[in-house]
Amino acid sequence: MMKSTFAHMFSKSSNNMKSSEIRELLKLLNSPEMISFAGGLPNPDAFPIEKLKPVMDHVMASHARDALQYGTTEGHNKLRDVIARGMGEHYGAPQQMSNILITNGSQQGLNLISKVFLNPGDKVLTGNPTYLGAIMAFVAHEASISAVTIDEQGMVPELLEDKLKYLDRRKEHPKFMYLVPTFQNPTGVTIPHKRREKIYEIMCKYDLILVEDDPYGLLRFEGKREPLMKSFDDENRVIYLGTFSKILAPGFRVGWMAAPEEIIRKVSIAKQAEDLCTNSFGQFCVFEAMYHNILFPHIEEIVNLYRKKRDLMIDALETHFPKDVRWNKPQGGLFLWLVMPDYINTLTMLPKAIENNVAYVTGEPFFPNGGGHNTMRLNYSYATDDQIVEGIKRLADVIKEFIDENKGKIAEDYVSIP
Amino acid sequence: MMKSTFAHMFSKSSNNMKSSEIRELLKLLNSPEMISFAGGLPNPDAFPIEKLKPVMDHVMASHARDALQYGTTEGHNKLRDVIARGMGEHYGAPQQMSNILITNGSQQGLNLISKVFLNPGDKVLTGNPTYLGAIMAFVAHEASISAVTIDEQGMVPELLEDKLKYLDRRKEHPKFMYLVPTFQNPTGVTIPHKRREKIYEIMCKYDLILVEDDPYGLLRFEGKREPLMKSFDDENRVIYLGTFSKILAPGFRVGWMAAPEEIIRKVSIAKQAEDLCTNSFGQFCVFEAMYHNILFPHIEEIVNLYRKKRDLMIDALETHFPKDVRWNKPQGGLFLWLVMPDYINTLTMLPKAIENNVAYVTGEPFFPNGGGHNTMRLNYSYATDDQIVEGIKRLADVIKEFIDENKGKIAEDYVSIP
């Protein structure tokens, strides 16, 4: 007897999980003709390969016995310490080493927070739309996501307060709120200073914890930096997630969590059971790259590279796209957000785009509470300059044809972003 | 208002988790006077540092753009492929690439299996005692562990069948069974071929899945290799967990799972939500170390190093330890298992040992169903040769004194291993 299926044995929580559309789309990148604006990959040209070679030589020459060994669950102490101090120097949010835990990328931070806080059915607040990987982590822990509409300045404080009042009446206090306040994935939208303060005020009033996910904050091309929510966290309500994936190299899988010590201790126990520790070699490389002052000068190079690519994509959009399509111009990050006419469903259009060797991510999966059928996310960091120009041309042709075919159809709903 | 505590907000499952005694003990390693036989660390002398330097140079020279990038959740395809073929060549259990998923060490494999199979309250079968990290992963998913007594040949088939009959009557079918069949952690015990077949037969009869955890199998100092349970898995019931932590370097955090494709697909979705992918750089290094034939010749060197350390520790035990203490002589792995007289509680004795600058792991936490108050696990892989001799002397003095103080007290229970 050969077992044909394990379906009846899988857990309830695992049956809630679906494969991320984005991760599945990564597989399309392998076709040589395909130009993909899907995914959220950094550009390999943004990896400081030549600068990392002597860093690795140094790690192997001087620290190999530790860098190849198991480490503590909390992470490499020198790295924790330099991050703790760096959060003061660069973010105005100084930490102690005991407030820092190294994660296997930010995604593990999201998963560990979910594990430590969420019982099945617990409420989590997010933006509508929000980062898909966060939705995946919350759903994997059987959370119920309640999403607040965002506009071109991010989450709308009035709507947040309305939602909290409503949940309060139903005695459904959210376990935490999740935000990407700067260059949000998927929309690229940044919450301005004043609105951050207003949101924090509401959080205090309603006794709410915030998970502040900040993978793109340092990738600012122009304009004034907005302060971290963590930087005015007098009430210790903010769990901050940082990562080296977008500013150094994702292949190391090194991110961090900055949080009150009680939470770090709890998360550390959960991480023990999950993977014992983050890979030591990557942690040592990241630390040495910071120690030898490679990281911050390199970030400037990435910013210059991505600024050029954003401008190139926006120029191409302006040249080739029909007027009925709108998009934003974020001051940093990896993504543009496009809104089509209401009668366009970007999911229905996707096979046609792929047929024409251009890929994007449909907006709808980013909306936990529904909506966004006529939106898409475009990534400008990964493609080459030539691909950006050619890919936008291809996509413009697909969209024009699709608009011609669908014009006059009735809109399914309406989305006001950006 | 400063939040003083988050205790009321933590999830039910996280409140089941306790910090591993072993991980906490790792912190003791930092004291320079301490000789620690706690932990299960490989010896840094067993890291092929000089051989890895050209491997890393090659990865950075020829594959940096991929090795520093995100990878697919399933893992680096070349590594998956060489593992799939290697399981045929070295283990008689050939796999397809689609049966292999790369994990952030074996511990992540245990966690992912738990996530994918376990609902709160589900039964898991283990040996009594069994690996503490597995207990942690199962408990983190609110499993109920049912442990079967093991003897000097591992899990006892008759007791396993008794347990399954009992559970069947109560309609409590276990989701899976967990075993470390070769050089078990903590006891060092190996299940012989015939008994493996008998256990597999019982598994088929009771429609049971096995998680075969095999971190130490290749670290055999002498004697004939026992076949993997996976090698006679005609019914596709075995999920195999392998790791490069003990045969190359744990600092890469690279392990793997070999399982039916349906399970790999499900686990891959769970891993997406957990950490997107395992660190690419470590995966590339491991693959290149295999491809350039560094791995297997190096394993012979580790085996020679650890064989000598095992012999040294056993010699020291025979020379210094009182006759009332028994221990085994495993043919491989990292651990010895010691049984004290019944009236000795190794947990009560531990502070005295630490006072005398020698550390061990108490046996009791390894017994999900209780027992083992008079047992301890000694690790011989990590300490230097001099430390092994000196540490066993120190421990002998502590034990002799403790026996003198406690002789005549009534035993709390009795444990028959080894």
pLDDT tens for chain B, 418 residues: list them. Answer: 445 588 888 998 888 877 666 556 556 666 789 999 998 999 999 999 999 999 999 999 999 999 999 999 999 999 999 999 999 999 999 999 999 999 999 999 999 999 999 999 999 999 999 999 999 999 999 999 999 999 999 999 999 999 999 999 999 999 999 999 999 999 999 999 999 999 999 999 999 999 999 999 999 999 999 999 999 999 999 999 999 999 999 999 999 999 999 999 999 999 999 999 999 999 999 999 999 999 999 999 999 999 999 999 999 999 999 999 999 999 999 999 999 999 999 999 999 999 999 999 999 999 999 999 999 999 999 999 999 999 999 999 999 999 999 887 765 554 445 4
Tell which A residues from 61 to 80 touch B, by Cβ distance under 8 Å: 64-73
A54 occurs within a structural domain: no
The CATH number that applies at residue A351 is 3.90.1150.10
Q: Quickly tell me which residue has 């770090």 as its tokens.
A: A264
Nearest-neighbour CA in chain B from A413: distance (Å): 29
What tens digit of pLDDT does each residue of B82-125 get?
Answer: 999 999 999 999 999 999 999 999 999 999 999 999 999 999 99
Q: What is the pLDDT of residue B82?
A: 98
| Residue among A2, A275, A280, A294 with most chain B CBs within 10 A, to mutate | A275
Is B41 in the same domain as B71? no
- Give the gap in angstroms from C-alpha A151 to the nearest C-alpha of chain B: 27
Each residue's pLDDT expressed in tens, for chain A with a length of 418 residues:
445 588 888 998 888 877 666 556 556 666 789 999 998 999 999 999 999 999 999 999 999 999 999 999 999 999 999 999 999 999 999 999 999 999 999 999 999 999 999 999 999 999 999 999 999 999 999 999 999 999 999 999 999 999 999 999 999 999 999 999 999 999 999 999 999 999 999 999 999 999 999 999 999 999 999 999 999 999 999 999 999 999 999 999 999 999 999 999 999 999 999 999 999 999 999 999 999 999 999 999 999 999 999 999 999 999 999 999 999 999 999 999 999 999 999 999 999 999 999 999 999 999 999 999 999 999 999 999 999 999 999 999 999 999 999 887 765 554 445 4
B337 with B245, same domain: the answer is: no
B149 Cβ contact list (under 8 Å, min separation 6) = B127, B128, B156, B159, B416
Q: What stretches of A92-251 show up as alpha helix (H) in DSSP?
A: 106-117, 132-140, 157-169, 193-205
User: What CATH number has the domain bearing residue A237?
Assistant: 3.40.640.10
Q: Is residue B60 part of a domain?
A: no
DSSP string, B139-188: HHTT-EEEEEEEETTEE-HHHHHHHHHHHHHTT---SEEEE--SS-TTT-
The whole-angstrom distance between B274's CA and the closest CA on chain A is 5
Strand A375-379 relative to strand A361-362: parallel, antiparallel, unpaired? antiparallel
Question: Residue B204, SS3?
Answer: helix
Question: Which is nearest to B235 in space by CA: B212, B258, B203?
Answer: B203
pLDDT at A416: 47
H helix intervals, B35-76 = 49-62, 64-67
Examine the fold and report which residue of A293, A308, A324 is the final residue of a domain before the chain moves on. A293
Q: Are A91 and A327 in contact (CB under 8 A)?
A: no
- A112 and A202 within one domain: yes
Cross-chain Cβ contact B263/A6 below 8 Å: yes
Same domain, A40 and A91: no
Nearest-CA distance from A26 to chain B in Å?
8
| DSSP, res A362 | E
**Do A288 and A311 lie in a common domain?**
no
Contact list in B for residue A7 (CB cut-off 8 A) is: 262
CB A233 within 8 A of CB A258: no
Say yes or no for a CB contact (<8 Å) between A253 and B133.
no
Alpha-carbon distances, residue B389 vs A379, A392, B322, B347 (angstroms): 60, 70, 15, 23
Residue B418 falls inside a structural domain: no
On whether the CB atoms of residues B228 and B217 are closer than 8 A, the answer is yes
Whether A52 and B60 lie within 8 Å, measured CB to CB:
yes
In DSSP terms, which residues pair with A154 in a beta bridge?
A: A151
Q: Across the strands, what pairs with B144?
A: B123
Q: Sign (positive/negative) of CA torsion A398, A349, A366, A274?
A: negative
Q: Searching chain B, which residue's CA lies closest to the CA of residue A233?
A: B2
Q: What is the pLDDT of residues B223-233, one digit of tens each?
A: 999 999 999 99
Alpha carbon distance, N-terminus to C-terminus of chain B: 57
The Cα–Cα gap between B321 and B358 comes to 15
**Is residue A58 a part of any domain in this protein?**
no
**Residue A121: its pLDDT value, please?**
95
* B138/B237 Cα distance (integer angstroms): 19
How far apart are alpha carbons A155 and A152 in whole angstroms? Answer: 9
Alpha helices in A257-384 (DSSP H): 261-275, 280-291, 295-320, 346-355
Specify the length of chain B in residues: 418
The pairing of beta strand A335-339 with beta strand A326-327: antiparallel
Q: Residue A257: CB partners within 8 Å, gap ≥ 6?
A: A100, A101, A103, A109, A112, A113, A239, A240, A241, A242, A264, A267
Model pLDDT, residue A418: 47
SS3 per-residue string spanning B245-289? CCCCCHHHCCEEEECCHHHHHHHHHHHHHHHCCCCHHHHHHHHHH
- CB-based contact (8 Å) between A130 and chain B? no
Beta pairing class for A154-155 and A144-151: antiparallel
Write down the residue that tokens 């099945």 correspond to: A120
Residue B263 shares a structural domain with residue B374? no
How far apart (Å, rounded) are the C-alpha atoms in residues A8 and B270? Answer: 17
Q: Is B36 on the interface with A (CB under 8 A)?
A: no
Tokens of A147: 């999403």
Whole-angstrom Cα distance, residue A248 to residue A48?
7
**H-assigned helices in A31-123:** 49-62, 64-67, 77-91, 106-117
CA distance B204 to chain A (A): 9
Contact between chains at A236 and B2 (C-beta distance less than 8 A): yes
Residues B204 and B73 in one domain: yes
Q: How many helices (H) and strands (E) does chain A have?
A: 14, 14
Distance of residue A275 Cα from the nearest chain B Cα, in angstroms = 5
The phi, psi pair for B371, rounded to 5°, reads 110, 180
Chain centroid to CA A413: 26
In a domain, A253, yes or no: yes
Q: What is the pLDDT of residue A1?
A: 43
Q: Is residue A27 part of a domain?
A: yes
Look at residue A56 and tell me if it is in a domain.
Answer: no
CB count within 10 Å of CB A90 equals 13
Q: Give CA–CA dist B148/A105, Å, rounded.
A: 38
Same structural domain for residues A240 and A172?
yes
Same domain, A195 and A308: no
B108–chain A Cβ distance below 8 A for any pair: yes
Tell me, yes or no, whether A41 and A189 share the same domain. Answer: no
Please report the pLDDT score of residue B39 as a whole number.
Answer: 86
Contacts A9 to B, Cβ<8 Å: 117, 175, 209
How many domains does one find in chain A?
A: 2
Same domain, B101 and B30: no
Selected residues 230-289 of chain B with any CB under 8 Å from a CB in chain A: 234-237, 245, 249-253, 260, 262-263, 266, 268-270, 272-282, 285
pTM: 0.94
Query: Are B94 and B84 in contact, with CB atoms under 8 Å apart?
Result: yes
pLDDT at B24: 62
Q: How far apart are CA A47 and CA B31, in angstroms?
A: 39
User: What distance in Å separates the CA atoms of residue B29 and residue B27, rounded to the nearest whole number?
Assistant: 5
**Of A278, A293, A308, which residue sits at a domain end?**
A293
Domain boundary among A293, A326, A353: A293
Task: Mark yes or no for CB contact A115/B69 under 8 Å.
Answer: no
Do A68 and B117 lie within an 8 Å CB cutoff?
no
Give yes or no: residues A143 and A260 share one domain: yes
CB A402 within 8 A of CB A352: yes
Judge whether A41 lies within some domain. Answer: yes
Residue A306 tokens, joined = 């991505």
Domain that holds residue A389: 11-47+297-406
